[in-house]
Amino acid sequence: PDERYDGLFDKNVIIMHPKEEHMKTDFLYPSMTVKRFKTYVIDYVDVVPELDQVEWIYYLDIDILFGAPFMDLVQKLGEENNIGGNDDMVSKFYFFKHLAYQYVAQGGFMIAHRETAKKCLELWRREMDSHLEEEHDQVSLNLI
């Protein structure tokens, strides 16, 4: 957490900045540097003691906007997709259909189970690192 934001937001809002070593810069498209950062979301949540009890992480890219109450959407998605349900999945990691049909998943809105999704995030990051010429993180996401 960055102290320069203290007092600006509700206590439930935590703004995190990337560590320099997490900002790989040898991508052909500079925007991929920031897109790669989201694959560390669980690592960053793990260092904030106030978040120790958080089981599910809802990640949104900064450019995603909602025109209705967010919690209504979260509840509806949870019910429709059995998020948090007991199933046989090894990793609980959810994405939603991208509006542009060329990609299966929208990488800018994900729900990750804190204890089981870390390996998927690592695989996604490894694919991004192996495809430095790609412009979209969804390309690597589709490969895992």
Residue 6 belongs to what H/E stretch?
none
Does residue 90 register a pLDDT over 70?
Answer: no
DSSP 89-123: -SS-EEEEE-SSTT-SEEEEEEEEETTTSHHHHHH
Can you give the pTM of this predicted structure? 0.77
Asked whether the beta carbons of 114 and 56 are under 8 A apart, the reply is yes
Contacts 24+ apart (CB under 8 A), 16-19: 16/44, 16/48
φ/ψ of 135, rounded to 5, equals -95, -20
Q: pLDDT tens across 20-35, in order?
A: 888 888 999 998 988 8
Q: pLDDT tens across 96-133, in order?
A: 776 665 656 777 888 888 988 998 899 999 999 999 99
